[in-house]
Amino acid sequence: MSQKVVLMFLLVAMAGTATVQGQGTRVGFYATTCRRAESIVRATVQSHFTSDSSIAPGLLRMHFHDCFVNGCDASILIDGANTEKSAGPNLLLRGYDVIADAKTQLEAECPGVVSCADILALAARDSVVLTKGLTWPVPTGRRDGRVSLASDTSNLPGFTDSVDVQKQKFAAFGLNAQDLVTLVGGHTIGTTACQFFRYRLYNFTTTGNGADPSINPSFVSQLQTLCPQNGDGSRRIALDTGSQNSFDSSFFANLRSGQGILESDQKLWTDATTRTFVQRFLGVRGLAGLTFGVEFGRSMVKMSNIGVKTGTTGEIRRVCSAIN
C-alpha cells in the first residue's frame, strides 16, 4: 500500500471519530444550514494568503491562543480594554482581518448561522493546507463565548516554560505529551521576534557572557548577526530555519541539531520524555515512527474541542469583534 493511500486512510479514520471527540461538534455541521460555509472560509483564507503568506501561521496561533483561554469560543476576537486581544501574549497575533472578512461573507450567505469560533477553527486548518501540510476533517458546531479577559491569558504556554510546566498547561485541557510536541510542531511555519529569544544569545549563564548551551555553537553566531544585542527587538526571525513557509517535520530536525529558536521549543529535545516524540517524528531507528501531518490533524481536533460551547450555550456573533 502506498504512503499516500495510508495517509488518506488515516484521515478518513479521523473523520469517523470526530463526533466522539467533539463534545457536541461534528464534521459537516453546516451541511444543511449553510452548505458553502467551509468553502467560503477556505476561499477567504486563500485570497488573503496570496497577498500575505504570513497570515497562515498567524491564524494557526490565534486558534491555539483562543482555545487555551476559556475554550475554543472566539473570545480572542472581541475588541475592548482588558480583553484577551489586548493581553501581552496576543499583541502580535495576526489574521483578525481574515476572520472578519470571512464572517462578513457568511453573514450575507447565511445570516446568524456560522459561529466565529468555527471560522477560526476552519481557517487554522486551511492555513496548514496552504503551507503544504495535510488536511483534516474539522468538527464544527461551536458557539461563541461572551467573556474575554486579559487576566485569563496567564495560562498560555510561555517561551521560557520548562517542559514540566508545558506538560501541566496542556494536561489541564486533556492534552498529553505527544499532543504537546505535535502542536508545538506548528512552529514549522512562521516567525518570532528577536525580543523573545535574544536573551539566550548573550549573558545567558550566571558564569559569564556565554550563550544558552543548548544552542548549537555554530548557530549562535548566525543568530547574533540577525539579532544584535542592542538591535531591533521587533525584527522577525524564522522559527524553523530554512523551512519557515512549509508545514513539514524540519522543525524537529532543527531541534535535534540545537537550532530551536525559542527556549521552550529547544527544551523538547533536551528533556528525555519529549525527545522521544521528536525522534519518532524524525523516524529514528528503533522507535515507532509517527507521521507529523497526520498526528498534527489528530491533535488539532482534540485541541479545537477544548471547552466548546454548543447547543444553547454561547451565541452566534454577527460581528466577531463584538458581543451581540
Q: Which residues are annotated as a binding site?
A: 66, 69, 71, 73, 75, 84, 157, 187-188, 240, 248
Which residues, including other chains, have CB under 8 Å from residue 6's CB and lie 6 or more apart?
Answer: none
Those residues with Cβ within 8 angstroms of residue 187's Cβ, 6 or more apart along the chain or in another chain: 239, 240, 251, 261, 262, 265
Is 65 one of the annotated active-site residues of the chain? yes
CA distances from 81 to 86, 148, 203, 306 (A): 7, 10, 36, 25
Which sign does the torsion angle of CA 213, 202, 90, 242 carry? negative
Residue with cell 496576543: 90
Tell me the binding residues for substrate: 157
* Dihedrals phi, psi of 24, to nearest 5 degrees: 110, -15
Percentage helix, strand, coil, to 5, in the chain? 50, 5, 45
Q: Which helix (H) or strand (E) holds 238?
A: strand 236-238
DSSP string, 160-214: T--HHHHHHHHHTTT--HHHHHHHHGGGGS-EEEGGGTGGGTSS-STTSSPPPTT
Q: Which entry of 48, 61, 65, 125 is annotated as an active-site residue?
A: 65
Please name the residue that has the C-alpha cell 495510508: 6
- Distance between first and last Cα of the chain: 52
Residue type (1 letter), 291: T
Question: Alpha-carbon distance 37 to 18, whole Å?
Answer: 18
Q: Binding site for Ca(2+): residue ranges?
A: 66, 69, 71, 73, 75, 84, 188, 240, 248
Q: Which residues are catalytic?
A: 65
